[in-house]
Amino acid sequence: MRFEKGHKAATRRHILDVASKCFRREGISAAGISGIMGEAGLTNGAFYPHFGSKEELVREAVANALAEHQHRLEENLHAGLDLENVIRTYLSQAHREERACGCPSAALLPEIARQPELTRKAYADGLRTFVSTLAALLPDADLPAAGRRATAIFALMVGTLQFARATPDATHAKQILEDGVKAALLLARAPST
Amino acid sequence: MRFEKGHKAATRRHILDVASKCFRREGISAAGISGIMGEAGLTNGAFYPHFGSKEELVREAVANALAEHQHRLEENLHAGLDLENVIRTYLSQAHREERACGCPSAALLPEIARQPELTRKAYADGLRTFVSTLAALLPDADLPAAGRRATAIFALMVGTLQFARATPDATHAKQILEDGVKAALLLARAPST
DNA sequence: TGTACATCAGTGAACGCGCGTTCACTGATGTAC
DNA sequence: TGTACATCAGTGAACGCGCGTTCACTGATGTAC
């Protein structure tokens, strides 16, 4: 079967989308090529014409997940959400439950830290972009200071979401999320130093 | 070879110590029984007289790592360290580099969130204890409020350390750690609400 | 216009390997007589 | 006091399985003549 022009590139993007969800849901080392390809509606043999190795897929899937998450943030901002809305959406029960389509940092950070340098570089770039976008919502006078505060605010958000996901008791998890929102807002509104 | 009384229990503790380090270093699903047993100076066959399954080992090793980390915190407090010292030690270059003996939350949280309920319960208990210990260092009037703020402060610390570990550029990582310290201290000193 | 061929995304079986787990066995020591 | 036996932590080979990866093959379509 021969395919229309652009078909291969579309398949590749589809594999990346599926992989980035599988990794976030199951973890990078727990998710396998066969499972990902099966979920993409293909057989495992079709993987290697698209990617050189699992490592390459991981690197691109991490970048893909970050870009997707970044895109969703920008959409929300265009729709008029302010920083408080962004924080409340991030630290919500829905985000706690939806790991596959959620923040890649919350789902994968310790595993990303164990990846080869190229993957970590790709992650660090995506993180920097995300933090800059958050920083633009802060009232700080100079941008570098805002970036530094935004980094800490996002770290608080990521850690809080991870706590809430690990906690099996839903009530306790909800409390953790609320505490995170309160502290994040406090940091966002604190007088700039 | 027959062994003195208490030998088996000592071996079990030794396996747990090694496993809790392996998990933090390599990740839970990436670390294998054979590797752990080899590092403990035993053969893989000796595992099952001590533990019923890998899942059981994970649960106990997570609890073990939390207890060890808790113990180190309490030692530091007895030695006279205050909250600022604790934060600076946690968000230090040394802790960024020493994953195997460091904070289990920073090394394992997303993987713990994917474990069976029993493991997540064990984690949540350890987390609560740790946060309570931190809360006692806060100036808050009532304890529940202090606990809620301590949760957020610890979440910020965990997220920040994870960012710093994932970032390949050492200078940028150092900056992230410093921003985390500053924000954590701001949260710790903010007037209680 | 009709036919033979080239293309190439995807198939599916197979590779070696390491996983978690099982089990018959070892062998130094404590105990029984 | 000396000998035969029971104990049991640990050994190491093997189990079935799924991993990441390779490769000969398929077969629908575009192209050449």
Mean pLDDT of chain A: 96
Residue B111, token pair as written in the block = 């993987």
Residue B24: closest CA among chain A residues belongs to which residue? A110
pLDDT-derived band at B2 (thresholds 50, 70, 90) equals low
Best mutation target, B54, B59, B158, B182, to test chain A (most A CBs within 10 A): B158
In this predicted model, what pLDDT tens digit does every residue of A70-125 receive, in sequence order? 999 999 999 999 999 999 999 999 999 999 999 999 999 999 999 999 999 999 99
Residue A107: closest CA among chain B residues belongs to which residue? B110
**Are B55 and B116 a contacting pair, CB within 8 Å?**
yes
All residues of chain B having their beta carbon less than 8 Å from the beta carbon of residue A127 are 163, 166-167
The rounded percent of chain B whose pLDDT value lies above 90 is 91
Q: Is the CB of A33 under 7 A from strand D?
A: yes
Q: Does B186 touch chain A (CB under 8 A)?
A: yes
pLDDT-derived band at B104 (thresholds 50, 70, 90) equals very high
CA B1, C1' D8: Å apart?
Answer: 9
Query: Which pTM was predicted?
Result: 0.96
pLDDT at A193 exceeding the cut of 90: no
Residue nearest D30 (alpha carbon to C1') = A2
CB contact under 8 A, B182 and A159: no
Q: Is the CB of A99 under 7 A from strand C?
A: no
Name the one residue in this structure whose structure tokens are 């992650």. A123
Q: Does A132 touch chain B (CB under 8 A)?
A: no
pLDDT-derived band at A2 (thresholds 50, 70, 90) equals low
Give the nucleotide nearest to A43 (CA→C1').
C11
